[in-house]
Amino acid sequence: MGQVQLEAALPVGADPRRHARALAKVHEAALAGHTLPSHPRAVIAASWQRMRELGLDPDRGAPAPVLAPERLEARRRESGLAAVLPTLRGGLISLAEQAVHIMVVVDAEGRVLWRDGSTAVRRRADGLGFVEGADWHETAAGTNAIGTALVARHPVQVYSAEHYVRNQHDWTCAAAPLHDPRDGRLLGVVDLSGPASTVHPTTLALVDAVAKLAEAQLRTTHLSELERLRGLASPLLAKVKGRAVITDPHGWIAASAGLVPVGRIALPNDATAGRTWLPTYGNCLLEPLPGGWLVRIAEEEDAPPARVVLDLRSSRESTLRVSGVAGTWSHRLSPRHAEMLYLLARHREGRSASELSLDLFGDAGRTVTVRAEMSRMRRHFGGILLARPYRFADDIEVVVERPSEGEVLPHSVAPAVRA
């Protein structure tokens, strides 16, 4: 999909106060439905549009109850972010205190898990309700770096009246998403927030660099875990009759027997021991191992899936569910893959790479990106997706479950769904 170009909230050479006054005029005109004196940045305009569709109160937002201490602790354990907290703190806390900022870490739902940094700014944040356990997703707090980065899935800086809710106009924030390198899942966001007067265009680049450092740490840990599993796998596979692979819980293959190895297979989200259908190998038997799965390939003829459901009802996560005689299998989708599958569901006759490029980007020339993404999906969903042209298999029933009226669509899917 390519590297996202970082976009600072403050234009180069702009006077912060003058720019804040200009943003305030744009914000008020947008809320009043008047002609805008100038256009907000694309990421801000898209977020404001979502907030208007949601009917969010620009004075208060939609504050949710703060998590109770025991639930907050549970969220911290479940987030997958505790392991990289020392890395995030080491990279950002010193700067946060010197620059009169706070460092904030939220989970994938937008709940504030940890908050460190300037004591004075933490007191100001308390008055805003920006506290540990608070919901800072767009749907609760409006346009802000944390919530908007969760939706846009790339680093975002928000300054002054770019915030949708007025009581945040005295703030500036820069946030970058954190992904699990094992499955690409969005874990949450790391953010630096402070008074609007402290805005600096390099803050976003720093936060993004520290987020990448934390992801690199997770990747190194995963490779070590896979190597330990590989040590267990080799002697075990020597005793297995027939074709089999050993994977970690996320489908990364540690070893294989009788098969051309691939890097990863798409296991169901809710994998359990027993018979199942996997896109890469067809009918299989899953057997649990310490730290992973033994996947035995059934030798009888494959029973292909009969029904595919593309579930777009959640604004935060899309899912592909596959049903057949071997049961139901589901897999989480990235926003881009959800959008591409939606387009293929709309065009059962199929789409060429150039047609998909035009659908996705408004440019028929980005076929290299399209082919790379389709190649990834076909490795995961072999037997469901065909090529030349790209399409769902003809004998599969395809159902799309869309959000109810008034609900916010997944960010990347929204343009295609509205088309």
Q: Which amino acid is at 206?
A: L
Do 45 and 130 share a structural domain? yes
Identity of residue 253:
I
C-beta separation of 159 from 20 below 8 A: yes
Q: What is the largest CA-CA distance in the chain?
A: 73
Can you list the alpha helix ranges (DSSP code H) found in 183-314? Answer: 203-237
DSSP, collapsed to helix, strand or coil, labels residue 247 as: strand
Rounded Cα gap, residues 126 and 116, in angstroms? 12
- Whether 37 and 150 map to the same domain: the answer is yes
Do residue 193 and residue 86 come from a single domain? yes
The SS3 assignment for 6 reads coil
| 8 Å CB contact between 353 and 390 | yes
Return the pLDDT at 327. Answer: 67
Domain count of the fold of the chain = 3
> Residue 156: beta bridge partners?
175
Same domain, 137 and 150: yes
Q: Could you check whether the bond before residue 11 is cis, i.e. omega within 30 degrees of 0?
A: no
* Domain end (from 220, 253, 281): 220
In the three-class reduction of DSSP (H, G, I as helix; E, B as strand; rest coil), residue 241 is classed as: coil
Contact (CB, 8 A) for 219 and 181: yes
Q: Is residue 231 part of a domain?
A: no
The answer to whether residue 359 sits within a structural domain is yes
According to the model, what pLDDT value does residue 235 have?
85
- Say what the pLDDT of residue 303 is: 60
What pLDDT is stored for residue 417 in this prediction? 44
Strands 253-257 and 244-247: antiparallel
Q: Which domain holds residue 317?
A: 307-417
**Domain match, 266 and 156 both:** no
357 inside domain: yes
Residue 38 lies in a domain: yes
Domain for residue 134, yes or no? Answer: yes
283 in the same domain as 198: no
Question: Are 192 and 47 in a shared domain?
Answer: yes
Distance CA 190, CA 212 (A): 11
Residue 187 lies in a domain: yes
The pLDDT of residue 306 is 81
Domain assignment present for 238: no
Mean pLDDT in order along the chain per 10 residues (419 residues): 76 92 96 92 96 94 94 96 96 90 96 96 95 96 97 96 97 97 92 95 95 96 92 84 90 88 81 82 87 86 76 83 76 87 94 94 91 86 86 91 62 47
Give the Cα separation of 226 and 113 in Å (integer): 28
Picking from 256, 276, 303, the residue at the C-terminal end of a domain is: 303
pLDDT (0 to 100) of residue 215 = 97
Length of the chain: 419
∠ Cα 120 7 334 (to 5°): 100
CA-CA distance, 94 to 276, in Å (whole number)? 50
Residues 350 and 278 in one domain: no
Residues in a beta bridge with 400: 310
Q: What pLDDT, in 10s, does the model give residues 120-174?
A: 999 999 999 999 999 999 999 999 999 999 999 999 999 999 999 999 999 999 9
Q: Report yes or no on 33 lying in a domain.
A: yes
CA distance 146 to 136: 7
**CB-CB contact of 287 with 375 (8 Å):** no
Same domain flag for 43 and 161? yes
As a whole number of angstroms, the distance between CA 303 and CA 301 comes to 7
Q: Are residues 333 and 400 in the same domain?
A: yes
